[in-house]
Structure 1
Amino acid sequence: MSDILPRCAWAQNDPAQWAYHDTEWGVPVRDSRTLWEHLMLDCFQAGLSWRTILLKREAFRRAFEGFDPARIALYGENDIERLMADNGIVRSRQKITATIRNARAYLSMQDHGEDFSDFVWSFTDNKPVLNQSGTSSPRSPQGDALSLALKKRGFSFVGPVIVHAWLQACGLINDHEPGCFCHAKGNTPAA
């Protein structure tokens, strides 16, 4: 990965984010559990920079037992206190409890025969949406609608701005800037 590649402005001058930008951000994710993990990380990002979450991502995975919804759904007060004491992650009681609620909501969808990936991708007609405006927005019609649908299913901390950022990161919305080498590649990882 070279630092001379034309990238989105947010990653242009940050070597710590080049690999993430070039190989992950905007690449379509179809695995339900991976989508759920990314949504939880985006929930923790609210009010912070993505760089902060990216640098703590492995600590989050360790602290939340690989983001296994079945395990997290069983968390109680002792687990919340354990997570609040973990300086490797963002220690927000509200975001931690939201992650527990969201694990339960995710499992409830499964119990009702609803595949999380199919559900999420239905908001983009099962294909990535290409932003052709040339400007990025903190919201999208797809993010607004999906935010409401997630809340109806019991999810929390999934406002339209968080959901839109998640859709961008997981490749449901291709929001790479027009001059970025990833924009023209149609949301595929760098070679």
Structure 2
Amino acid sequence: MEVVRCGWSEKDDLYRKYHDEEWGKPVYDDETIFEFLVLESFQAGLSWYTILKKRENFKESFDHFNYQIIAEYAEDKVEELMNNTGIIRNRLKILATINNAQKFQEVQKEFGTFSKYIWNFVGGKPIINHPKTLQDVPATTEISDALAKDLKKRGFKFLGSTVVYAHMQATGMVDDHVVDCHCSNL
């Protein structure tokens, strides 16, 4: 019997594995949430597939997404990253990652965990949308608009509403699996 997935995930095994094992599954631990914030911010203007193919390189290059270490990166580390062909070499995005690691920790101090802060925007549980087709999946919502606005107010960078909505999908705050997908929560 053929497994039915969301159409975007059928590019190759890497995409299928990501779709089946991660996308839309709720994430509550700060470390993984931060990883996706980094990856999504680098994805801005590029395809998610490009980022997914480079994910392991990002992980190695950015100290396994340890936000405490990243928050302390100095210019020499920025230059090292700018010379790293295994990642997206964009100075503004690298600097934004360092900034966002610092802001991430500020939010943790205020709310106890970043997870508690971000999940408050959806009432602590996933929003399950049941789209019939990929065309029914929005690029942004009122919630992603509000979250992006709040993140910006807190000093985060490269996290506009479209990037934030993609993050919400990746971390299961929103479940946008199409109704006939085997991962759908119908």
Q: Summarize deviations over 1:147-190 as a string: whole Å, max 9, x none.
A: 111111111111000000000011000011111111136xxxxx
Determine the structure 1 residue equivalent to 2:171.
170
Q: Structure 1 stretches (4+) deviating beyond 6 angstroms?
A: none
Determine the structure 1 residue equivalent to 2:154.
153
Offset of residue 113 of structure 1: 4.4
Offset of residue 114 of structure 1: 3.8
5+ residue gaps in structure 1? 186-191
Determine the structure 1 residue equivalent to 2:82.
84
Q: How many residues in Structure 1 have an aligned counterpart in Structure 2?
A: 183
5+ residue gaps in structure 2? none
- Structure 1 window deviating more from structure 2 (161-170 vs 135-144): it is 135-144
Offset of residue 110 of structure 1: 2.4
Q: 1:81 to 1:131 in 2, by over 3 A?
A: same
Distance 1:121 1:107 in 2: 16
Distance 2:105 2:66 in 1: 10
Q: Summarize deviations over 1:80-135 as a string: whole Å, max 9, x none.
A: 11000000101011110000000010111223344200111001111100114531
Offset of residue 76 of structure 1: 1.5
Q: Summarize deviations over 1:8-38 as a string: whole Å, max 9, x none.
A: 1101242221111001111000001210111
- Structure 1 window deviating more from structure 2 (124-133 vs 110-119): it is 110-119
Q: 1:106 to 1:5 in 2, by over 3 A?
A: same
Under a length normalisation based on structure 2, what TM-score does the superposition of the two structures give? 0.93
Under a length normalisation based on structure 1, what TM-score does the superposition of the two structures give? 0.91
Aligned to 1:184, the other structure's residue is in SS state coil
Which of 22, 25, 32 aligns to 1:24? It is: 22
- Structure 1 window deviating more from structure 2 (78-87 vs 9-18): it is 9-18
Distance 1:136 1:74 in 2: 38
Distance 2:131 2:53 in 1: 31
Which of 93, 97, 106 aligns to 1:108? It is: 106
Distance 1:133 1:111 in 2: 37
CA RMSD of aligned residues (A): 1.4
